[in-house]
């Protein structure tokens, strides 16, 4: 069975109560359940992880790169949270480890503050999905199966 890793970055553990007018009422557990259901329907093993720590996310990306190179993993769906706009280290990890990655944002980052329009992740992402809420994760997982 092929594998997909779903990574969520900082503050996404607060989903449900964090600015619900922007991010909705669904919790991280709801996101992860939906990803598991999507994986089950597509015959994929989906692992979901969340961290507020950049180094932890980098370690998981390195692991994913090794699994992609070895064959069992088809890619990563990642919502890097605010690290999207700040993290050269995540950019370098994705590039350096050779990770096939779909960047997902719940909100439409292009319709918000100007500084949310810049992403350090997009240049090393295979694709980018923004503004479609939880469906972005579903579409990201489906996209990985079609690449």
At residue 19, what are phi and psi to the nearest 5 degrees? 35, 65
Cα(52)–Cα(20) distance, integer angstroms: 19
Identify which range of 34-42, 54-62, 88-96, 105-113 contacts ligand DQA by CB under 6 A.
105-113
Structure tokens at 125: 């992402």
CB of 137 to ligand DQA, least distance (A): 10
- Contact pick of 73, 109, 121, 124 for ligand DQA (by CB under 6 A): 109
Structure tokens at 45: 């093993």
Q: What share of the chain is helix, strand, coil (3-state, %, to 5)?
A: 50, 20, 30
Interaction of residue 76 with ligand DQA, rule CB under 6 A: no
CB burial of residue 89 (10 Å; 0-12, 13-18, 19+): middle
Identify which range of 30-38, 50-58, 76-84, 89-97 contacts ligand DQA by CB under 6 A.
76-84
To the query of whether residue 83 is one of the catalytic residues in this protein, the response is no
To the query of whether residue 23 is one of the catalytic residues in this protein, the response is yes
Place of tokens 């050269």: 88
Interaction of residue 31 with ligand DQA, rule CB under 6 A: no
- Enumerate the active-site residues: 23, 105
Q: Which residues bind ligand DQA (CB under 6 A)?
A: 11, 79, 81-82, 84, 105-107, 109, 116
């Amino acid at each position: 069975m092929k594998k997909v890793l779903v990574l969520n970055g900082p503050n996404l553990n607060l989903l449900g109560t964090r600015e619900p007018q922007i991010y909705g009422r669904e919790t991280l557990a709801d996101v992860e359940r939906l990803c598991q259901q999507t994986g089950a329907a597509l015959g994929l093993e989906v692992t979901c992880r969340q961290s507020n720590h950049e180094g932890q996310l980098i370690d998981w990306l390195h692991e994913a790169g090794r699994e992609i190179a070895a064959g069992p993993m088809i890619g990563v769906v990642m919502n890097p949270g605010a690290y999207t706009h700040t993290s050269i280290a995540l950019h370098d990890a994705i590039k350096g480890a050779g990770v096939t990655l779909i960047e997902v944002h719940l909100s439409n980052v292009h319709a918000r503050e100007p500084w949310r329009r810049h992403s350090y992740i997009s240049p090393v992402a295979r694709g980018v999905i923004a503004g479609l809420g939880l469906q972005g994760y579903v579409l990201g997982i489906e996209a990985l199966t079609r690449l």
